[in-house]
Structure 1
Amino acid sequence: MAIQLHRTVTVEVSTEIEQLTAGTEEFQRQSRIASTQKAYKSDWEAFTTWCDRLGYSALPAAPQAVSNYLTHLSQQGRRVSTIARHMASISFAHRAKGLPSPIESEYVRSTWKGIRHQQGVAAKQKAPILTEHLRRMVQVAPDNLRGLRDRALLLVGFAGAFRRSELVALDVEDLEMTQEGITITIRRSKTDQEGYGRKVGIPYGSRPETCPVRTLQEWLKQADIASGAVFRRVDKAGRVGVVVIKKEGKDEHLSDRTVARIVKHYAEAIGLPSESYAGHSLRSGLATSAAKAGASMHSIMNQTGHKGEAMVRRYIRYASLYHDNAATYVGL
């Protein structure tokens, strides 16, 4: 990025400015969490490849080209949320180069409005894992180290109402044993990219077999994990893959996709349709189950970390579909 200087500067000052500029660009990169950076990069590569194939300019991109690309994504069956992310990626790439975003043009806005109207904008929510589901899921987990890890992951993810990214990012250093249970510090999350952090209490369960605290403690003990990632891969031989993964230069934490696969696997194991469940089902499941049990809005929000009431009210409405239902009063 060219910088206009108002006076002649020395080589030393020029070098300092270059270093500061490089530092600023690094802070800008850090302002977006890794998953967002990866998604933007992938989306931008897809757009540029498509533009090259059809002879369009990707940067700067004309509103007609972007609109046609959105139509292309829609015709491929991409969801509204996915298309919106592609739009954000295209807009970011232009702004990063100091160019106006083609997304702001009325032509693109009109196309986007038509796509949303055709597909509908209602989010396709995954079904919640309710308490009764969770009890059955941990019962069918195998009696080995991998099964123990899965039970700990399911129970802690549910009790803490964690996002899957928060769950897999946990380190032993984030855990603090207390008389009431375990206090878990979430260092960074989707709604806390600056890393202020928040603490979540996981109380002891009333049943040993479904107690998240005891199960987590047993997993850490059996896996011999004293520091670093809490949830790690376990191979078929029952070996916790710390040394091998570190030697390959990879992160020892599980991926957030693994959480989704585990939830789907155990949902299917107890007879639920796996396609209806994902990693978010643990988080929504705690909120929904708590609402069914009569927990207050404040109590649920305190555990989930929601800053607004809109999403929590959705969970409460779902939980109360059959409670005081008007249809029960008409004598059918």
Structure 2
Amino acid sequence: MNERGPISEAVQCEAATASGSRCRKLVTAPQTHCRDHRDVASAPPPRDAFADAVAAALRADPGVSSPRSMITSPNVTSPSEATMVDVTGSEGWRAWLGEHLAAEADTLSAAELEQLGTHGEQLVDAVLAESTVNAYREHFAGFKQWCARIGADALPASPQVVAAYLVTIAHQGTTSTTGDRGASDAEPGRLAPSTLALVATAIGTVHRNHGHTDPTAHPRVRALIGGYSRQHARATQQAHGITLEELGLMAVRCELPPPEQLRDATLLALATHPLVETTANQLSRLRWDHVQLPDEPGLPARLHLGGRIGTVWIPPEDTPAICPVRHLVRWHAQCAGEGPVFPSPRDADRPTSRQGLTQRVDQLLDRAGVAASARLGELARLSVTDRQLLLEHLNAPTLRQIRDLAVLSVMWWAGLRADETERLDVGDLDLDHDRGLTVRVRRSKNDPYGHGAVTPIVHQRGFIACPLERTAQWLTRYQAALGRDLVADDPAFPQLNRGVGGRLGYHGINDLVKHWAAAAGIEPGANERMSSHALRAGQTTEMLHRDLSAEEIARHQRRRDTRHVYTYYRPTNDWANNPTARLLDRVASPPPADEAVPE
């Protein structure tokens, strides 16, 4: 036996050359670097204790090449790197098809092969929705970058490498960071279990689409994902269900003019009223404690203006557009009835100066094309026709508000998702003023191949959010804004940021619902959030409250499975129709206490 002990095993140097390839020199264990790269081995590794443990585990696995370095922040991906990831496998599809056909199909010309490859790539690219491709591309780009830093292959990747990456991002608590996160500030469990599962799905999908074995299907990888989900389970946040009453409140807010229009309408209604004959100075000093509003419609309002006018009683008028009482009530509700009636735009506690009020009135007169004296106190001499002309556009909702109300009405009554609403064209809306509105959904989540579905909605006469009436109102204003006749291919609900633009997108629809829900004072409950899906969930809840069957609801909302209907139910009152309240109905009542019990 050799007294110096057994001969140590020779291993390959772990250092990388300048070209990026592995150093080919052999060293004797326990050495890890050759003589030329000993300085690299002695340098302190730029990683935390957790990263060292992962790297050691990878080195111990004979199926995985030894890493050159370990990234601490698992996913720092630039946009250019993310766009380079081929999620669907279309880039390799042309070569996969061409190599085989070139060898077996001698009669196909090069041009025909090129044409087949081009058409095939287009079909392969359409296998996933654009939003899905973007999500998968981002997550796989992070995985690809992480693999490059540890010296492992990302495509195809071994189950061990995928498991190590999933453990890394689970430990760090994020899939995207801007700087290194060490062991001291790692946040295990902060990453949602659904996000970890999405990362694994992205990696597996890219592998399958490129013709490789799915590494995430390995039982140990699946066990890792399942264990994380059990260990860090959290309550699921559902979309709040907007009820029919809440939809009506949102519609009321949509019909109200914007705050600046309410303020201008109140100013002009007072300045042009023949019984007031007020001056700019008096309107500037007017405060809400000088105003006595009626308790119910049809009664006059009292204003204490001071000076030679003193107290003025203003009766209501038959024409709502020029009625000062109506404008005072609406403006009072908007500004909470405190401080000056016409506050400064810069400071709500200070009144607008008389010069500011005079300039604003002049601007409104010029905009409406009404000729009048420059003195604000002489506006009371205007005729009723001029007053209506002056106040007409200030009482009407804006183009954006009319569009938003149409979106809310159609989405709620048709049970539309945001992406379905985004893809609607003008030709998909069929208006029948006798029966109602018909919405054609050309493609949806449950119909990715575009078979299409038609959803009819009965005319909801008298309801403020009637989809037929609101859609007709919107299309009329939409056509006027375009300055031409609408065509079938025009987007049904365009953007209105700078004129009439492209389609109102998913995020725009989501923000629209959140804005008007907040304006109506609707707050989500515990474990709820406000989103565009709240309209669909609210309709489901209302239908279930009215004893509609799950089959009827699923058919109207274009669902494939009736079981999903009940996941959208949001009980508005846990005590109403509570099953425990009816448990004793079928039990015989006990005898009175004073009644003798027979022996």
- When the two structures are superposed, what TM-score results if normalisation uses the length of structure 1? 0.86
The residue correspondences of 1:75-90 to structure 2 (distance < 5 A) are 75-76=173-174, 77-90=190-203
Q: Give CA deviations for 1:75-119 in whole Å, capped at 9, x if unaligned.
A: 233433333222222112112222111111122111111121123
Name structure 1 gaps, 5 residues minimum: 243-251
Which of 421, 427, 444 is residue 167 of structure 1 equivalent to?
421
The SS at the match of 2:531 is coil
Cα distance in 2, alignment partners of residues 56 and 265 from structure 1: 47
The one-letter amino acid paired with 2:164 is: N
From 273, 290, 296, the equivalent of 2:543 is 290
1:234-259: CA deviations, max 9, x gaps? 23xxx6423xxxxxxxxx11111111
The answer on 1:99 being equivalent to 2:212 is: yes
1:214 and 2:327 matched: no
Q: Among 221, 230, 236, which residue is 2:492 paired with?
A: 230
After superposition, residues 1-332 of structure 1 pair within 5 angstroms as: 1-2=95-96, 3-4=99-100, 9-10=105-106, 12-74=108-170, 75-76=173-174, 77-120=190-233, 123-141=236-254, 142=257, 143-178=397-432, 179-224=434-479, 226-227=486-487, 228-235=490-497, 240-242=499-501, 252-273=502-523, 276-316=529-569, 318=571, 321-328=574-581
Quick check: 1:149–1:219 contact (8 Å CA) kept in 2? yes
* Contact 2:440/2:452, CA 8 A, preserved across alignment: yes
Paired residues in the alignment total: 319
In 1, Cα distance between equivalents of 2:239 and 2:503: 24
Cα–Cα, structure 1 residues 111 and 129, in superposed 2: closer, same or farther, change >3 Å?
A: same
Q: Give the superposition deviation at 1:321.
A: 4.5
Q: Give the Cα–Cα distance (whole angstroms) in 1 for the partners of residues 550 and 138 of structure 2.
A: 38
Q: Which has the larger radius of gyration?
A: 2
CA gap 1:73/1:273 in 2 versus in 1, 3 angstroms: farther
Pairwise CA distance, 1:54: 4.7
Question: For the structure 1 residues 314 and 321, does the alpha-carbon distance in structure 2 shift closer, same or farther, using more than 3 Å as the test?
Answer: farther
Question: Any idea what SS the aligned residue of 2:200 has?
Answer: helix
CA separation of 1:14 and 1:202: change in aligned 2, threshold 3 A: same
Give the number of the structure whose residues are more often helix, by fraction. Answer: 1
Contact 1:292 1:319 in 2 (8 A): no
Could you tell which deviates more after superposition, 143-152 or 118-127?
Answer: 118-127
CA contact (8 A) 2:251 2:465 kept: yes
| The 10-residue stretch of structure 1 (26-35 or 67-76) with the greater mean CA deviation from structure 2 | 67-76
Give the Cα–Cα distance (whole angstroms) in 2 for the partners of residues 257 and 6 of structure 1. 47
- For 2:235 and 2:454, how far apart are their aligned partners in 1? 32
Q: RCO (CA 8 Å, sep 6+): is it higher in 1 or 2?
A: 1
Distance 1:105 1:6 in 2: 36
Check conservation: 1:158, 1:282, Cα contact below 8 A: yes
Q: Quickly say closer, same or farther: Cα 1:49–1:55, change in 2 above 3 A.
A: same
Q: Measure, in 2, the Cα distance between the counterparts of 1:8 and 1:298.
A: 53
Tell me which amino acid in the other structure corresponds to 1:151.
Answer: L
Equivalent residue of 1:223, what SS?
Answer: helix
Change in 2 beyond 3 A, CA 1:286/1:216: same
Q: CA deviation at 1:131?
A: 1.0
| Distance in 1, Cα, partners of 2:164 & 2:145 | 14
Q: Would the aligned equivalents of 2:538 and 2:570 in 1 still touch at CA under 8 Å?
A: no
SS at match of 2:163: helix
Aligned amino acid, residue 427 of structure 2: E
How far apart, in 2, do the equivalents of 1:41 and 1:176 lie?
38
In 1, the alpha carbon distance for the partners of 2:522 and 2:169 equals 31
Question: Following the alignment from structure 1 to structure 2, what is the Cα–Cα distance between the partners of residues 86 and 263?
Answer: 29
Q: In the aligned structure 1, how far is the partner of 2:455 from the partner of 2:575?
A: 30
Q: Give structure 2 stretches of 5+ with no counterpart.
A: 1-94, 175-189, 258-396, 585-599
Q: Which sits farther off after the overlay, 322-331 or 220-229?
A: 322-331
Considering only aligned residues, what root-mean-square deviation do their CA atoms show, in Å? 2.6
- Tell me, what secondary structure is at the counterpart of 1:209? coil
Q: How big is the shift at 1:46?
A: 2.7
Per the normalisation by structure 2, the TM-score is: 0.50
Letter in 1 for 2:425: D
Shift of 1:153: 0.7
Q: Give the secondary structure class of the aligned counterpart of 1:199.
A: strand
Query: C-alpha distance in 1, partners of 2:149/2:246?
Result: 48
Provide the secondary structure at the position in 2 that maps to 1:254: coil
Pair 1:124–1:107, CA change in 2 (3 A): same
- Note if contact 1:291-1:315 (Cα within 8 Å) is conserved in structure 2: no
Please state whether the residue corresponding to 2:457 is helix, strand or coil.
Answer: strand
Is residue 292–residue 316 contact of structure 1 (8 Å, CA) maintained in 2? no
Q: Does the C-alpha gap of structure 1 residues 102 and 180 become closer, same or farther in structure 2, counting only changes over 3 Å? A: same
Offset from partner CA, 1:235-290 (integer Å, 9 cap, x none): 3xxx6423xxxxxxxxx111111111111112222223367111111111111111
CA contact (8 A) 2:428 2:441 kept: yes
- Checking the alignment, whether the CA contact within 8 Å between 2:439 and 2:456 is kept in structure 1 is yes
